[in-house]
Amino acid sequence: MHGVMKNCMLAVFSLLLCLVAAELTVRALHLSPAVMTQLDCIRFVDNPELMYELIPGGEVDGSRINAQGFKDSEFSIAKPQNLVRIVMLGDSITHGWGVPLGQTFSDRLETLLNERSAALSRPTKYEVMNFGVVGYNLACEWVTLKEKAIVYQPDIVVLNFFHNDGEPLPGCFFSDLPLDDFQRGILLNRYYQHRSDPGWRRFFRQNLYKSELFVFILSRTSNFKAQVASYVNTHYNKVSGDEAVYEKYIKKIIQLRDEKKFKLLICLHSHLLYGVHSNNETFARILDREGIPYFNMIDYYERENIKPDSIQRAEDKRDTCHPNAAGHLIIAKAMMTELRKHHFLDGGS
């Protein structure tokens, strides 16, 4: 028995010695790719449904990110009397990609509502808070509402839906993979992305990913190129429209609405050139079943005979998703109309 224990201890010691030697070798030869905790203006977080957030104080498309991590002025927890707070949830359209701070539809709506209140000599003030983040999906928007926005006691929440909001999140984990910018932007390490427990994710980040040997082995066994090719060929080009995913998160938002007593409105955004996507129609059917008020922005574009190229960003005519500042003003006016229509403002007056 003594001999067996001695041999076991010797085997363990030898294994540890080999691992230490391998770790030192990988470090000395710089064989391991760098583990990324942030990429440009985003940083990864442990919540598997959120995945990443904007870095406070950083800059995105020419606009500064506030201390709370959003493209807006600074938020204050304190809520004065006669203040109506409206929270905007969404992705890069809501964020206002390519549109200066102050000209996003959140900012424009706030101005319109306050001008209207002043014209009617009412004491009510409005604050529209932009919680949109580039690339976010329904899961992220739900987590953002629950963990970041609800503390500000919103009276109204507007969820802005785009047809790819059921997709998994973009991202990348290893910095020196031979991937172009597009591939780098849509790939997140499988071992990190698919772990649903935040504790495990934190353990990997704080412990295992600090071993360059572990990262080296992971980077050589994860077949990243095949993952990218599969994602691009089967997922990115066929946008996910999973009704079960839509229903799951809209029900979560409804439950929170009922608990916190805020009003909920959905805005369905469309391609500027290609019109309504079938995913918008799928999402609308769920909203009809749940009795949630919503509207389609394309109805306003068509009603006002808006030419698509007039609200496309001049610097990138290939972009058919993100409206320019003029488009944001149209969205803001449509939202004010819908808020009044559904009696969310002063009894609909």
Task: Tell me the per-residue pLDDT of 241-266, one tens digit each, with 9 for 90 and over.
Answer: 678 889 999 999 999 999 999 999 99
Kind of pairing, strands 83-89 and 156-161?
Answer: parallel
Q: Please tell me the predicted confidence (pLDDT) of residue 233.
A: 45
pLDDT value of position 236: 39
Residues with pLDDT less than 70, the chain: 1-2, 34-37, 39, 168-198, 222-241, 347-349
How far apart, in whole angstroms, are the C-alpha atoms of residue 102 and residue 221?
47
Tokens matching residue 307: 């030419």
Nearest CA to 283 among 188, 196, 159? 159
Alpha carbons 118 and 297: distance in angstroms, whole number: 27
pTM score of the predicted model: 0.82
Domain layout of the chain by residue ranges: 1-29, 66-167+239-348
What is the DSSP annotation of 143-186? HHIIIIIGGG--SEEEEEE-TTTTSPPP---BTTSS--HHHHHH
Give first-to-last CA distance, the chain, whole Å.
88
The pLDDT tens digits of the residues spanning 117-130 come to 999 999 999 999 99
Residue 263, φ and ψ in degrees, nearest 5: -90, 150
Closest CA to 328 of 164, 130, 60, 166: 130
Is 66-167+239-348 assigned to CATH 2.40.128.280?
no
CA distances from 214 to 34, 139, 195, 233, 238 (A): 12, 30, 17, 30, 34
